[in-house]
Structure 1
Amino acid sequence: MTDAITYFSARLAHETDPSDVYAAQRAGEDLVLVDVRGDEAWAQGRIVGAVHVPYRDIPDRIAEFDPAIPVVVYCWSPGCNAGSKGALAFAQLGYSVREMIGGYEYWVREGQPTENNEGPLPRTFDPLTMVVRLWS
């Protein structure tokens, strides 16, 4: 039992999910959301309010971040480990950091706001990832 408590406590201390990040944004919590994907991915679409820093560039751009403000990183999806690489880079540089599990894919599937260089992207709500209520 102790192993399970330690394991899940550690996961929750270092991970978050799209719903919790969106709720934190809406509540005005102080955090910086960092998209660690490449330039083409960023141009295709990103989370509103995110900052773009490909994970390889984090050490060179660390001066852009206030160490007192928690960082949340994300990449494409559960099949992408760039978020873990980005979180590791921030942690190695002494920052409080969490990885947003599910990445951009689950943010989009939950219908949270996204944009690209042209402006807001359409919001869709995937019933495989959340309860979708139909109002009549």
Structure 2
Amino acid sequence: MNNVDFFTARLRFQTDVSDVHAALGSAGPGFVLVDSRGDAGWRHGRIPGAVHLPHAEIAERAAASIDPATPVVTYCWGPGCNGATRAALQFATLGYQVKEMLGGIEYWIREGFPVQTDTGTTRQAADPLTAPPHAITCDC
């Protein structure tokens, strides 16, 4: 595999929080966003509009929850967790077109995007280590 093939493949199978945020803000994002964390993580806070489908339940519940013709984007805690990768593999095994959202909910929060809980939606200021202080995204 050459460099072009490698990076093309990465973009085909991975996305980032800024791109997901932009897509969710459009008229039709073209995918279902899946939070693959357990119940405690879901209750702690999730991306608005995400579907909760823990990794261990994907094989059993995916087809009843998500049309197999609809692309899926998976996320979990963050870069130190491979839960989104494992969830993406489960969806791919079931025949779904799938991407993994790099950074997980950790970077979603760190970029200042909204988080939904059972009591409402909150938003923290962007972390200057991950996002410019006067912009929402890295503008890449």
TM-score of the pair, normalised by structure 2? 0.91
1:84-99 aligned at under 5 Å gives the runs 84-99=85-100
Match of 2:72 in 1: 71
SS at match of 1:131: coil
> When the two structures are aligned, how many residues end up with a matched partner?
133
* 8 Å CA contact 2:109, 2:123 repeated in 1: no
Unaligned runs of at least 5 residues, structure 2: 136-140
What corresponds to 2:8 in structure 1? 9
Aligned 1:1-136 pairs, distance under 5 A: 3-28=2-27, 29-63=29-63, 64-133=65-134
TM-score (norm 1): 0.93
Q: Percent identity?
A: 50
Q: What amino acid maps onto 2:7 in structure 1?
A: F
For 1:77 and 1:133, how far apart are their aligned partners in 2? Answer: 24
Runs of at least 4 residues of structure 1 off by over 2 A?
Answer: none
- Gaps of at least 5 residues in structure 1 are none
RMSD of Structure 2 on Structure 1 (CA): 1.2
The residue type paired with residue 34 of structure 1 is V
Q: CA deviation at 1:122?
A: 3.0
Q: CA deviation at 1:82?
A: 0.5
Q: Is the 8 A contact 2:44 2:117 kept in 1?
A: yes
